[in-house]
Amino acid sequence: MDMKAKVFGQKLQDKEYHDREAAYLVLVDGDLFALVKSCSGKLFLPGGKIENGESKEECIITPLYNF
């Protein structure tokens, strides 16, 4: 199954883009779900870009420890 999906925004013609591996968690408890709030106040699913040497599990768990 192809897991690639379109990304947010539009690609600029004069920019070069690269695929990057990422992992996200959807955690649901009844009608509640987990989000991570950034310093700017934006809300995101836990996870993000997988850094060098980081597992998918570490990528998902790291933002949960930062609040």
Q: Catalogue the E-assigned strands of 1-67.
A: 22-24, 28-29, 32-33, 36-37, 43-44, 47-49
Residue spans of the domains in the chain: they are 22-65
Q: Does 1 score more than 60 pLDDT?
A: no
Per-residue pLDDT of 8-67, as tens digits, reads 678 888 999 888 899 998 889 999 988 888 888 888 888 889 999 999 999 888 777 765
Please report the pLDDT score of residue 3 as a whole number.
Answer: 57
Reported pTM: 0.61
Distance CA 25, CA 30 (A): 16
For residue 59, which amino acid is it? C
* 1 Cβ contact partners less than 8 Å away, ≥ 6 residues apart: none
